Structure formats: structure tokens, C-alpha cells
Homo-oligomer: A and B are copies of this chain.
Amino acid sequence: MRTRPLKVALLGCGVVGSEVARIMTTHADDLAARVGAPVELAGVAVRRPDRVRQGIDPALVTADATALVKRGDIDVVVEVIGGIEPARTLITTAFEHGASVVSANKALLAQDGAALHAAAEEHGEDLYYEAAVAGAIPLIRPLRESLAGDKVNRVLGIVNGTTNFILDKMDSTGAGYQEALDEATALGYAEADPTADVEGFDAAAKAAILAGIAFHTRVRLDDVYREGMTEVTAADFASATRMGCTIKLLAICERAEDGGSVTARVHPAMIPLSHPLASVHGAYNAVFVESDAAGQLMFYGPGAGGAPTASAVLGDLVAVCRNRLNGATGPGESAYAALPVSPMGDVVTRYHISLDVADKPGVLAQVATVFAEHGVSIDTVRQQGRNQSGGDAVAIEQGGGRREGGEASLVVVTHRASDASLSGTVEALRKLDTVRGVASIMRVEGE
């Protein structure tokens, strides 16, 4: 074993950083044995250097992250500040000064991954970021390395713990969105400003990263279709239950059937209760990967939290340190396939549509005609009394019966159709006199 230590600069010492520092200190001997050299915490940059930080030598703490990164003796920079700046500049500065980088920063990687990878490669440094997607769950390494000889066709996952907690609450208690969000906030599962989570920005960043790695293609954040889950209602869960489904906020990266393009999207979707993702409860994450040879794989675990995320950071740290001792670098960006990323309109899936309609004879025939005209084939139609969304549905035959009295609500479940065809259908439906409103449109996945 080499006795000269590898020096690590820790940028950020918050939820994740403090756990990284703790494990580096308490497990120093194990890390040294696994790396083949001691791994030394050489400096810690924070915003407020005067705060007491348990277990960290105050002499190591600085507010000047730039100076720390430029010191010249740093082997690995661990960036757990978050956000775009100063993280981005600090990372490129690290490469310029001969350090490799481990980061947990999904927002930055999703936005500037290509440029950062290029900078790493230019300087012959590593850029690792397992912790950026699904916290502790090994996902980037399996996709990039274990499946390197396979062809991934689909990645389907729950990659945001906050929204999974909220949706799981709504499902199990019948609570509405706001009530479930309040509970998540009270329990510390949601931040004071939950926008990034509930509007799907966080999941979209992860989807961009996953799609890029899975398909060896650059996928920008803008390429990811994004729909949050703030409009999911208790009525949607009632509909889902009736269909033997639950609702999850899913990140879905797919190769088109002809293999010539890919898509990436984040939105709430119904999935059958029999699907393994349906039983991912609370703030847990899980990701399904489908590939040609391996078939269906699933990876499950805690998607966030200080210690779990630190576990992923430290796994990367050990790998980067080993590479350094070997005088080598690990796999960099792989974007050789350069497949076009298709827009949402090209995505093909099934849909669950709730319509408020006039309770007149012939409405169903009208509605069915609109679907047919847009080439969207109907699987099932149910009609139910307006104020009975929580009750039993009454299955009716195409063009047939209706419920007496009151307005009616019509639930249509389609066969697979493109998002563009579905949008056209919905637009035309809204123009029908007999359609009072489109109460909800939800995609149905995982079948």
C-alpha cells in the first residue's frame, strides 16, 4: 500500500457533505485498504465557515472554495454544494488543476453534463456522479458498466422520493394533494419550496442523465418532456383503483421500436398493482431497466438522505482514487450512438381519459367517433354518475346505455396511440357541445 495519501477537497458540508466527511473519518482504515492508499480529507469549503461542524477539524474549513480547488495538491474534489454556480466553475477549475471530481449534482449534470465531461476528458480526469440519480441505488455504474455489452431499450423508474411519498400517502389514505404535501413537509420529506420535486424538475434532470447513459446519446434537459404531479386528485386515485392500478410519478426513457430514436419524459402515470414499481412505498426509489439480453432488471433503495447519498459518493470516490493510483481514468461520456431525441408527440402509450359529458343519448357515439377519426383505438369505456367518482363504475357497451338523471362522466381507456394523436383527439373532444370538460388525462404504463 502506498503511504502518501490521496487528498480530497470537500465542497459543501450540508446534508450530504457532512455524512461524506463523517464516513471518511470513521472508516479511514477501510477506505485506505480498499483504495490502496490513505485517503485524506484535505479541506472543506462551505458558505458559513464559522459554524461548528461536528467531527471536522476547524482548520480544514474554508469559505474560499476556489482557493481550495486551486491548491494544486488535491487529487479528488467532491462537489456536494448543489445548483449551477459556483459548482460548475469549481468543477472545471478542479479539472484544470489536476483533480478528478465526484459530484451528486443532478441539476448541473443534466444541464451541462456534456461540457463537464469534455473538460474532464481534456484534462485526463474522472467525472463520477452515481449519487446524482436515485441516491444510494447503484444505477449509473450498472447502466454504464454492467450493461455495457447489452442494448438497453427502456428505463422506467421512480426517481423522486418526495413525490413518491406524497402519491403513496394519497393512495393509502385517500388524502388530496395538498394534505399529503403538508404531511411530507412536516416529516421533512418535502422542502419548504417543493417546486423542483412536485413539478418534476428533479426527476426530469435524472431522466436526462439516465437516458444519456442508457442510449449512448446526449439527452439535454430540454429534451425531456415534463409534467408535474400537483394536479393528481383523489378522484384520479379512485379511477386508478378501479383499473387495478396506482399512480406514480415516473421517469421513462425509451428507445423507439424501430431503434432509430429515443424519448425521455416525466409525468404521473397509472401502473398496474402487479407491477413491481407499484409496491415501492414511501420515499423509496426504484428503477426498472429493460434490455435485449438481460431482460428486466430492477434496482431498489433509498433515493435520498445524507447517509445513503454519501454511500454513493464514497463508492465513486474509491473508484476515482483507484483509477488515479492506476494512472488511468474510468469510462467517460459515451454519446457515440447520437440518436435523435423525439418530441413527446411521438411517444406511444395508453391513456385513461375522464370526460364530463351531457347526459344525452348519442354522446358516447359522438365521442367514439372523435377517437376513431384520430386513429386512437378505444379499449374500454365506462360511464358513471357525476357525483359518484368514488363509487363503482358501471360498464356500458359502446354506443349503448346511459345513467338516468344528472350529468355523466365518461371514462375512456385507449389502446396504444401516439401522444400527438391523443392530443388531437382531446382537442376535438373539447369542441364537442356535449363534452363539458376534460376532467383528467393520465397515461397508463408498465403493462
Of A80-88, A134-142, A396-404, A406-414, the one with at least 4 CB within 8 A of chain B = A134-142
A313–B294 CA distance with the chains assembled, in angstroms: 11
Q: List 29 A-B contacts (CB under 8 A).
A: A19-B293, A30-B216, A30-B337, A33-B336, A34-B216, A130-B146, A136-B295, A137-B297, A138-B141, A138-B142, A142-B146, A145-B315, A148-B314, A149-B311, A149-B314, A149-B316, A150-B314, A150-B315, A279-B279, A291-B311, A292-B307, A294-B311, A295-B301, A296-B301, A297-B300, A298-B301, A326-B326, A326-B328, A326-B329
Highest count of chain B CB atoms <10 Å: which of A141, A294, A298, A331? A294
Does residue A31 face the partner (Cβ distance < 8 Å to B)?
yes
A31–B308 CA distance with the chains assembled, in angstroms: 33
Does residue A322 face the partner (Cβ distance < 8 Å to B)?
yes
Give A280's nearest chain B residue, CB to CB. Answer: B276
* Per-position 1/0 for A319-356, Cβ under 8 A of B: 10011001111010010110000000000000000000
Chain A residues in the interface with B (C-beta under 8 A): 19, 23, 27, 30-31, 33-34, 130, 136-138, 141-142, 145-151, 216, 276, 279, 291-302, 305, 307-308, 310-319, 322-323, 326-329, 331, 334, 336-337
Give A291's nearest chain B residue, CB to CB. Answer: B311
Q: How many copies of this protein are present in the complex?
A: 2
Q: Inside 8 A of A141's CB, which chain B residues have their CB?
A: 138, 141-142, 145-146
Shortest Cβ distance from residue A40 to the other chain B in the assembled complex, whole angstroms: 15
Highest count of chain B CB atoms <10 Å: which of A150, A293, A298, A328? A293
Give A299's nearest chain B residue, CB to CB. Answer: B299
Q: Inside 8 A of A137's CB, which chain B residues have their CB?
A: 297
* New contact pairs (16) apart from A142-B146, A296-B302, CB-CB < 8 Å: A34-B148, A34-B334, A130-B146, A136-B294, A141-B141, A148-B318, A149-B310, A149-B313, A150-B311, A276-B279, A293-B314, A295-B301, A295-B307, A299-B300, A322-B331, A326-B328
